[in-house]
Every structure is written in C-alpha cells, then in structure tokens.
Chain A
Amino acid sequence: MASPGAVRPSVGAALQSCLAGSAACSRNAASMMPMAARIASSTVRPVRVQTAALSTTASLLKRHKYPGARSNRDMSKRRGESAIRRTGTRWRLSVSDDPLPQPVKRAELPAIETDPDHGLWEFFADRNTVAAPPEEVAKHGRAWMVEELRAKSWDDLHRLWWVCVKERNRIATADWERNRGKLGFGKSESGERDKVVKKTMQGIKHVLTERQYAWEDAVKLAETDPEIDLSGEGPVFTPKEYLEAEDVLVESETAESTNDSTEPSKAVPSETTPLEPNPQSSTAPRL
C-alpha cells in the first residue's frame, strides 16, 4: 500500500517538475494540476519522492504524462468503438492481424443461373419486358361467342379455360409490375383485355351448364323413347328401321341421312358418348 509520505502520481509529478525549476514545465504543471491542487501546492511542503538505487519508480511515475492524460482509469472499455464509422476494435484481438475477406464487386459477380424452361416464365408474355406498352396490350380480338363455344368438345373447352386462366395471370402480373415500377399508362387497356378474357370464360361456363341441363332433360326424354333402352341389357340405341327388320345397310344409312337433314348444323351441342355414363367426356368429330 502507499506509504503516508507518497503523493498521488499526478500531483507528485507536477511537484517534481516544479522542483526541477524549468519555466515551461512549471507552466505545464500549473495547467495540469486541478484547482484544489494549485491552491494546495502553494502551501504544501515540497516532497521528494523516495527512490532507492536502481529503482524504476521515478520513470514509472513519468508514464502517461502527456497533455490530455487521464487522471483516472477509463471505465468504459469500448469507448469510441463504432461499427458505423468503422473504427475497428480498441484493443488488439487475436485475429487483428488476419486479413479480412473483401466482398466481390457487384460488376464482377457471376451471373445468376436460371432455367429457361421454368414454369414461372409463363407469367410473362415476354420475359425481357415485365409489362408491355399499352399499344401492344390493346392488340387483341373479341371474346368467344357462346354460339361458337357450343360447337366445341369438352376437351377443347377445358383447355381453353386454362389458357384463359393463364392469360389472366399474365395480365395481373403486368398490372402488378406496372404499379410497382410506376411504369406509366396501360391500366385501362389491361382492364379491357381482362374483360374480354373473362367474357370468354363466362361463355365456357355457360355452355357447359347448358349442356348439363340439356343432357338431364334428354335422359328424362329418353326414358319414354321406344328406340332407346336404358336398362343396361343390350344396346342402348336401336333405330326404328332396325326394329322393323329392314336391310341392315339401308337402315344405318337412312338413319344418318334423315337425322342429317333435320338437325341444324351448329346449334346442337356435340355429344359423343352414350347417354348413361359421363355426359361430358372426350371428343368426337363434329358433323
């Protein structure tokens, strides 16, 4: 522990430099000392620091005597460290000498590999432009008419429906990108295009519903038809001419020709399977 005669390093050093007699030193010493010490030094007896031979006390007491030296310990071990200002650590670390890896410059980054056949590309009409200009968007035809759709088979209508779904997805993606990137005009043309696609989809639904109802009514009617046997035993359709035991060849030809003449060409839904099982199934050639 400190002996009674020992003086605090800062005060002791100041006194020493005072005692040394240098004018500059005394000026510095005077500015370094706190007020109380300055006042006290005028009355305190000059005390010499006791040092033995080969002692390092004197030199040790001269450490940290620069202008601005602290008089107490710095209790904040990470004072001045800033990640934002990139000061680095205050104390040396074991990894301080290891070189930090430098990030690759953006221009030198390798290109991101994409699959040119990825399904997500189908959300864009042209993969190099996220949204087409309004003149291009406006180039489309009219919607399908119900009369035109009535002529189509189930398979065609099913596939057309999904083509419409994908087109609407493309339109919605373009709208989203146009909003996000504030690309400019095109909302109105996009809306018109979407309307046309929706009208086609509405027509498809209408035709399929109509076909379903017509089938249900036809089944009911077939129960009273003498030519049709829905019990499941034997052939479903036996035409009148066949029942009357005429020539087999003649009967099939006349059946087709009479039916051809009476029925309208585009009006009837194209139905290609027997009545009982699925009413809306695979396609067959239209008349």
Chain B
Amino acid sequence: MQPTRILQGMRYRKLRLTTKDVNKGYYKGTGSGSMGRHTKHGGYVIEWDKVRTYVCPPLEGFKLTPFVSQTIRPQHGIYNGDPNGPRNPELYLSRWKSENGFD
C-alpha cells in the first residue's frame, strides 16, 4: 500500500505533528483534559474527582436575562480610591463580620 501524496517525500515533514507521530514518548493531547492516570500495565484508571460534571440548576422562576436594559447606565463601585478595591481582604472581612458573623 502506498501513502497518499501528501505523505510522500519531504511534504510530510512540513505537516503538523499528530498524536501518532514520533517515538520516544512524544505526547500530544487532544484538548479533552486529564481524567485519570495510567497504570503500569498500560491501562488507564479514571479518577472521578478529575472528571468534569456540569450542573445546571433549576431555572423555574428565574427572571434575570443575559442582557441589561440600555436605559440603566453603568455605574462603577465606590472603593474610596483603594487600588485593590473589590479584592481588598479588609473590606471582605468587615462585610463578612457585619452580615454573618452571628449565626
């Protein structure tokens, strides 16, 4: 059997590597992510902690939409000139204390 024309001669070397090319442990992933680990016998064990699960909550009665009315002009938050602003841990802590410090 002959390879197709694109794989003959020097043209193959200009193509991008695939998962089937190269020995010596060359690994190329496919973008699906790691779901487990390989066993020493060549198998694969799935680790369910690594497996992605997509949870869609019930959406009955939910009124928010992806859009906001154009009449509501955007307003920026007030952080009193704090460069950290929303990331400020003191702010976070003080708010936490006021809102749910007490059970």
Contacts and interface: CB of A to CB of B under 8 A. Distances in A.
A158 B57 contact: yes
Contact of B59 (A163, A196, A197, A264): A163
A215 B92 contact: yes
A143 to B, nearest CB: 7
Interface string A209-244: 010011101101110010110000001110100000
A51 to B, nearest CB: 72
Contact of A267 (B79, B90, B93): B79
Given A267-B85, A268-B91, A237 B70 contact: no
A136 interface: no
B91 to A, nearest CB: 5
Given A147-B75, A159-B57, A271-B99, A141 B70 contact: yes
B48 interface: no
Interface string A134-176: 0000001111110110100001101110111001000000000
Interface in A241-287: 252, 255-256, 259-260, 262-275, 284, 287
Contacts of B57: 155, 158-159, 162
A272 B96 CA distance: 7
A214 B59 contact: no
Interface stretch (B2-10, B12-20, B28-36, B61-69): B61-69
Interface string B38-70: 000000000000000000110100101111111
Nearest to A274: B100
B11 interface: no
Interface string B71-103: 000111111100001111111111111111111
Interface residues of A, number: 59
Given A220-B89, A222-B93, A268-B91, A147 B76 contact: yes
Nearest to A145: B74
A272 B102 CA distance: 11
Given A237-B101, A263-B95, A221 B90 contact: yes
A267 B75 CA distance: 11
Which secondary structure dominates chain B's binding surface? Answer: loop
A163 B65 contact: yes
A255 to B, nearest CB: 7
A122 B90 CA distance: 44
A200 interface: yes
Contacts of A260: 98
B53 to A, nearest CB: 14
Nearest to A158: B57
Nearest to B75: A147
A264 B79 contact: yes
B70 A142 contact: yes
A221 to B, nearest CB: 5
Q: Which 7 A-B pairs have the closest CB atoms?
A: A141-B67, A259-B98, A237-B101, A217-B89, A267-B77, A268-B95, A218-B92
Interface of A: 140-145, 147-148, 150, 155-156, 158-160, 162-164, 167, 196-197, 200-201, 210, 213-215, 217-218, 220-222, 225, 227-228, 235-237, 239, 252, 255-256, 259-260, 262-275, 284, 287
9 contacts: A158-B57, A159-B57, A162-B59, A217-B89, A220-B89, A225-B93, A264-B80, A271-B92, A271-B96
Given A159-B59, A163-B62, 6 more contacts: A145-B74, A167-B65, A214-B87, A256-B98, A263-B91, A274-B100
